[in-house]
Amino acid sequence: MAISDLVAGTIAEFIDYAMIVVTFMVVWYIIKFFLVAPPTKEDRKKQEEERVAKGKETREWIADKLKTKAEKEKERKEALKKKHEQHEREEHLKHPRAHLIEAIEEGEDLFKILSKKYSPENVAKAEESHKHLVKHLKNVNKYLRRIRRHEKGEIRDFFNQLYTYGGVALELAENISLPEGLVDWDTKSNEAKKHLGSSKGVVPLCGVILKAIDDFIVSDKMKLSVEEKKQAEEDVKEAASEAAEKKSARSSSERPSGRTSSKATGAKPVARVRK
């Protein structure tokens, strides 16, 4: 029984303390209720205007963010497309490059053969080398024509010019007249070597086309790299701007808000009128 009396006394004491705390809270809220002035008609109107303005501002902010996001997404897709096109273009250029290198080597070999003395073996070698030279130049023009067909604007014009040069080189190579025997070996060999090695001959022209392709590949990569760097810098700036906006919004939401008391404003307390 002693334990039950002790528990009952403790509970009763706790209830008494709780009632005291509740009483103080009720008194505080009653005093606060009568001391804080109710919002006037002008205050309510101002609050409503602020709410409408804030809502409009928020909607405009969201619309602007959505528009910016859509533009950025479009730019990213365009950048990926350009990167894919650049890579695909470089892969396609490997074919005419390879045939140009082979054509230059065949032209140089043919020049060396024609610089030797006559022999039936050299005649056969010259014919074989000339056949491979023409074959490689035909492949160069085939691939340049194919690449040109898939391009637009300045790039198409560039490859159209290379295709023209390739056509000139092919025509020069096809028009080379090889010697057939001892009688015309020296005469036709000298004439053929002019077509091959002169400043406007087949081999130098192939070299010009090859260098133009290599320079284009480097320039194309560099241009893409500059665009990617610029896009990366813009993304960093945008991320920093969004972080600053979030921080500012968080700071605003953490500021104390509520109805202003008469003590803070210096106004006299206004009691509520009960009907």
Residues ≥6 apart with Cβ < 8 Å to 214:
97
pLDDT in tens, 218-235: 988 888 777 666 666 666
pLDDT in tens, 255-273: 544 444 444 444 444 344 3
Round the average pLDDT of the chain to a whole number and report it: 82
Q: How confident is the model at residue 245 (pLDDT cuts 50, 70, 90)?
A: low
In this prediction, residue 112 carries a pLDDT of 96
Distance, in Å, from the CA atom of 254 to the CA atom of 264, rounded to the nearest integer, reads: 20
Distance, in Å, from the CA atom of 187 to the CA atom of 185, rounded to the nearest integer, reads: 6
Question: For residues 174 and 73, which has the higher predicted lDDT (pLDDT)?
Answer: 174
CA 25 to chain centre: 62
